[in-house]
Structure 1
Amino acid sequence: MWKFIAKRLGSALAVLFAASLLLYVLVINSGDPLKDLRESNADNREYLMAQRVEYMNLDAPWYGRYWDWLTGASKCLIGQCDLGRNINGVEVSGLLANAASSTLRLVVLATVIAAVLGIAIGVLTAIRQYSGLDYIVTFLTFLFFSLPVFWAAVLLKEYLAISYNDWLADPQISVGTSIAIGIVVGLVLQMFLGGSLKRRGITFFASAVFVPLVLQYSLWLNFYRYPQMGPAIIIVLTALLALSATAMSVGLKEKRVLYPALITVVLVLAMYYATFYMLLEPNGWILFFGLVLAVVIPAAIGRFMGGRLRKAAMSVSIITGVAGAALTIIDHLFRAWPRFLDVKGRPIATIGSSTANLEGGFWDHFLDNGTQLLMPTILLAVISLASYSRYTRSSMLEVQRQDYIRTARSKGLSERTVIFRHAFRNAMIPIATIAAFDFAGLIGGAVITERVFGWKGMGEMFATGLDHVDPAPVMAFFLVTGTAAILFNLLADIVYALLDPRIRV
């Protein structure tokens, strides 16, 4: 394995060198970096041109400039990156750090959402192959995948930002609209939940009645401007999730898994009251350590009480603990929402990654960053959803045709056990490699998405560098994205071999 890794890294360095040389030559020959100054009528034009020549080292031959960049970039191996200065004399290392953090904040969330939803949809459509749900989901995923990014972004700005902000000033939902929403929700739920015709009818009728009542009741509470949750709803939702996770993994009859999950639910309630005043005005470290505890403590309980099913008990308990912690955070966000509306009257912004000079506390800035992330995250997630769902569907269908799946069914195992403990785990092997490649590609930033939403990330830095014939930002972009692509390619091969013992490198 180590010999394989060394060979791959050696070949990767050669590829990076050749690609960087080609890209540098293409960029510097794509235009004139002094064009705007040559056409300027400013009195200090000559001084500005001389200053830019100094910044970009334009008086040196191209191979000398490339060598300077290469030697500076190689210092990144010892943590002393020198990526030169851009056309305005700003250090590119600082620009790269800001752009990379902005892009990672965007693409990590979008990738996680797309992967989780895409895999879930793929499994569901594989189980119900050639059903109405399968055809509709296939149509919708490819429709979203084919949407022009700029056009979809404009629609999101119009309806999710501008129209929603106008509606939020005086939230109103008519009875007719509530009934229509209930009917649509009922149709979707009965399609996803499936079952007999009687079960589908009950699901549809219950949703068509319950949803309009909830919508009208939320208007009466003025929920959209003054949302509220409270410990009772947190515990009910956490308990339902614990029961669902237990039922999907091993079944509710397995008390060694169910009891640790229910104990975790009780701990969520205890921690809610214990940390209430601490979370009124927290910081990032408090939330981080809270997340660690939400994983470590349930895992310890599941390991101690799980017995022979300790792995399943740990997994279900961790899911329950993390979900309870997330609902607790949402409860505090609900409490901070009215104050945030006073600070920022129109919460969903259409441009930028944060609001400059925003007043308020921790939760106000948290909500501001979250609302700024909302639209580009939805756009990237919807576009990536098709890939994960279709790959998962095809992988699940291939696995379900294997002999060991037929053997598992012939032994009398429940369909839940066959799907989630045999088919699903093996179907995830190729998905692991796809996720690695997808994340590596998204690190480079979504150029169109970032431009439409005014997001100062990697894609915007790359596009700006090309527009101004400025090789330093473009090469910094290449350094990050090229290295990420190669490393994630290597990581995908290693993970694939670890997941599938039949593979030998």
Structure 2
Amino acid sequence: MSRFILKRLGISFLVLLGGSLLMFVLTINSGDPLADLRESNADNRDQLIAQREAYMGLNDPWYVRYWDWLRGVAGCVVGKCDLGTNRNGVEVQSLLANAATTTLRLVILATLLAIVIGISVGIVTAIRQYSGFDYAVTFLTFLFFSLPVFWAAVLLKEFGAIRFNDWIADPQISTVQAIAIGVVLGFVLQAVLGGDLRRRLLTGGVTAVFAFAALTYFTAVGWWREPALGIGVIVLVSAAAAVGLTAIFAGLGNRRVLYATLTTVGVGVIAYFATEGMLEEPNALMLVLLLLSAVVVGLASGWFWGGDSRRAAMALSAVTAVVMSLMIVVSRAVYAWAGFLQLKPRPISTIGASTPNFGGDWWESLLDAATQLLLPTILLTLISIASYSRYTRSSMLETMNQDYVRTARSKGLSERVVVVKHAFRNALIPITTIVALDFAGLISGAVITERVFGWKGMGELFQTGLTNVDPAPVMAFFLVTGIAAIIMNLVADLAYAVLDPRIRR
């Protein structure tokens, strides 16, 4: 395996080297970097030209300039990176650090959401092949996949930001609107869960009534501006996650796994009250440490209860701990919503990655970052969900028609075991390739999204460098996207070996 990894890294290095040379040559020959100064009427024009020539090394041959850049990048191996300066003399390394942080924050979240939602939808549509739900999802996925990014961004700004900000100033949901929303949610849920006519009517009816009652209650008590979740909701959601994960991956008949996940929820309730004071004004490091502690508790619970199913119990308990930790964070953030609206009456922003001079506390600052992140994340997620769901559906259908799946059914195994343990694992093999390519593609594809939403990320760095015929920022963009593509493809290759032991040979 180590020999294979080294071989892949060597080939990837040669590809990256050739691509960097091509990118550098194309960039420096795309225009005149001194065009704006040549047309200037400033008295010190000659000095400005000489200064820019010195910053960009324009008096050296192209291969000397490329070699200087290459030597600076090679210095990163020993911790002495030198990515050069842009045409204004600003170090590109500092620009890259800020841009990469902004873009990766957006891309990682969008990728994770797209993977979870897209693969889940793909599995359901494969199981419910040729149903009304399958046809509806197929239509929506093709719609999202073909949407022009800039046009979808404009729609999100209009309906997700401007109109929502108008509504939240005096949030009201009429009876007719509550009924309509309840009917739509009931129709969607019964289509997802399926079953006979009686089960569909019961599912749709209960969902519609519950949604109508909840919306009416929230509007009456002013919940939209002063929301709260509380320990009851946290426990309910966490327990549902524990039971659901156990039912899907281990079966409710496996009591040891069920007891392990529910024990994790019980310990989480104690932790909720024990850390209440610590979460009044936390920091990122504290939250990470608390999350790791929760995972350790989940693993310990799984180890204690697991028995013969210890591995499954530990894994599912750890996931349950993560879910409950996230619910506790969401609950604290929800409590801060009222104060956040006082500081920012129009909460959903249409441009920028942060609000200038925002003066809220830690939770209000978190809400500000989340609302700034909301629209571009939704846009990138919708586009990626389309491809993930279609590839998952296709891969699942192909796998479920294999002989070993028919054999598993003929042996009397439950449908859950057939789908989760036999079909899904093998269906993941081609999907890992899509995930690897999509992550690097999202970084480069975020250029348009960042421009529409006014984010100063990798896209802005690349576009500015290309417009100014400045190779240093362009090469920094290429370096990050290229390395991301190499790493993700290597991860995909290693995932193949984990999913299919035959590939290890």
Considering the TM-score relative to the shorter chain, is it more than 0.5? yes
Quick one: which amino acid aligns to residue 89 of structure 1? G
Q: Indicate the residue corresponding to 1:242 in structure 2.
A: 242
Measure the CA separation in 2 of the matches of 1:421 and 1:13. Answer: 37
Q: Indicate the residue corresponding to 1:295 in structure 2.
A: 295
Once structures 1 and 2 are overlaid, which stretch shifts more, 309-318 or 473-482? 309-318
Quick one: which amino acid aligns to residue 151 of structure 2? W
Quick one: which amino acid aligns to residue 401 of structure 1? N
Measure the CA separation in 2 of the matches of 1:237 and 1:503. Answer: 39
Secondary structure class of the residue paired with 2:501: coil
Q: Indicate the residue corresponding to 1:171 in structure 2.
A: 171
Once structures 1 and 2 are overlaid, which stretch shifts more, 179-188 or 431-440? 431-440
Q: Indicate the residue corresponding to 1:191 in structure 2.
A: 191
Quick one: which amino acid aligns to residue 374 of structure 1? L
The reply to whether residue 218 of structure 1 matches residue 218 of structure 2 is: yes
Please say if residues 161 and 350 of structure 2, whose CA atoms lie closer than 8 Å, have aligned partners that are also in contact: yes
Q: CA deviation at 1:414?
A: 1.2
Q: Indicate the residue corresponding to 2:257 in structure 1.
A: 257
Q: CA deviation at 1:212?
A: 1.5
Q: Indicate the residue corresponding to 1:114 in structure 2.
A: 114
Alignment of 1:42-81 (within 5 A): 42-81=42-81
Q: Indicate the residue corresponding to 2:278 in structure 1.
A: 278
Secondary structure class of the residue paired with 2:279: helix
Q: Deviations over 1:61-97 (max 9, x none)?
A: 2111111111111111112110110011110011111
Please say if residues 425 and 499 of structure 2, whose CA atoms lie closer than 8 Å, have aligned partners that are also in contact: no
Q: Indicate the residue corresponding to 2:453 in structure 1.
A: 453
Once structures 1 and 2 are overlaid, which stretch shifts more, 119-128 or 257-266? 257-266
Once structures 1 and 2 are overlaid, which stretch shifts more, 483-492 or 102-111? 483-492
Aligned residues, how many?
Answer: 505
Q: CA deviation at 1:100?
A: 0.9
Please say if residues 358 and 365 of structure 1, whose CA atoms lie closer than 8 Å, have aligned partners that are also in contact: yes
Please say if residues 234 and 328 of structure 1, whose CA atoms lie closer than 8 Å, have aligned partners that are also in contact: yes
Measure the CA separation in 2 of the matches of 1:410 and 1:13. Answer: 49
Alignment of 1:271-350 (within 5 A): 271-350=271-350
Q: CA deviation at 1:43?
A: 2.6
Measure the CA separation in 1 of the matches of 2:363 and 2:426. Answer: 41
Measure the CA separation in 2 of the matches of 1:376 and 1:419. Answer: 34
Measure the CA separation in 2 of the matches of 1:236 and 1:49. Answer: 67
Q: Indicate the residue corresponding to 1:16 in structure 2.
A: 16
Q: CA deviation at 1:331?
A: 1.0
Runs of 5+ unmatched residues, structure 2: none
Q: CA deviation at 1:41?
A: 2.2
Once structures 1 and 2 are overlaid, which stretch shifts more, 88-97 or 231-240? 231-240
RMSD: 1.3
Measure the CA separation in 2 of the matches of 1:494 and 1:284. Answer: 31
Measure the CA separation in 1 of the matches of 2:45 and 2:244. Answer: 70
Q: Indicate the residue corresponding to 1:485 in structure 2.
A: 485
Secondary structure class of the residue paired with 1:123: helix
Measure the CA separation in 2 of the matches of 1:494 and 1:260. Answer: 30
| TM-score, normalization by structure 2 | 0.98
CA shift in 2, pair 1:394/1:75, >3 Å: same
Alignment of 1:108-187 (within 5 A): 108-187=108-187
Quick one: which amino acid aligns to residue 222 of structure 1? G
Please say if residues 433 and 496 of structure 1, whose CA atoms lie closer than 8 Å, have aligned partners that are also in contact: no
| TM-score, normalization by structure 1 | 0.98
Please say if residues 445 and 457 of structure 1, whose CA atoms lie closer than 8 Å, have aligned partners that are also in contact: no
Please say if residues 103 and 445 of structure 1, whose CA atoms lie closer than 8 Å, have aligned partners that are also in contact: no
Q: Indicate the residue corresponding to 1:436 in structure 2.
A: 436
Q: CA deviation at 1:242?
A: 1.3
Measure the CA separation in 2 of the matches of 1:237 and 1:494. Answer: 34
CA shift in 2, pair 1:2/1:322, >3 Å: closer
Q: CA deviation at 1:8?
A: 2.4
Quick one: which amino acid aligns to residue 319 of structure 2? I
Please say if residues 256 and 305 of structure 2, whose CA atoms lie closer than 8 Å, have aligned partners that are also in contact: yes
Once structures 1 and 2 are overlaid, which stretch shifts more, 272-281 or 433-442? 433-442
CA shift in 2, pair 1:504/1:266, >3 Å: closer
Measure the CA separation in 2 of the matches of 1:427 and 1:108. Answer: 23
Secondary structure class of the residue paired with 1:444: helix
Measure the CA separation in 2 of the matches of 1:236 and 1:491. Answer: 36
Instruction: Point out 4+ residue stretches in structure 1 off by more than 3 angstroms.
Output: none
Secondary structure class of the residue paired with 1:502: helix
The reply to whether residue 360 of structure 1 matches residue 370 of structure 2 is: no
Measure the CA separation in 2 of the matches of 1:497 and 1:459. Answer: 34
Please say if residues 405 and 423 of structure 1, whose CA atoms lie closer than 8 Å, have aligned partners that are also in contact: yes
Measure the CA separation in 1 of the matches of 2:164 and 2:101. Answer: 29
Q: CA deviation at 1:409?
A: 1.1
Q: CA deviation at 1:494?
A: 2.5
Quick one: which amino acid aligns to residue 380 of structure 1? L
Q: CA deviation at 1:10?
A: 2.3
Measure the CA separation in 2 of the matches of 1:240 and 1:490. Answer: 36
Runs of 5+ unmatched residues, structure 1: none
Q: Indicate the residue corresponding to 2:86 in structure 1.
A: 86
Measure the CA separation in 1 of the matches of 2:357 and 2:47. Answer: 35
Quick one: which amino acid aligns to residue 242 of structure 1? A
Q: Indicate the residue corresponding to 1:375 in structure 2.
A: 375
Q: Indicate the residue corresponding to 2:39 in structure 1.
A: 39
Q: CA deviation at 1:285?
A: 0.9
Q: CA deviation at 1:445?
A: 5.2
CA shift in 2, pair 1:275/1:504, >3 Å: closer
Q: CA deviation at 1:12?
A: 2.1
Q: CA deviation at 1:435?
A: 1.1
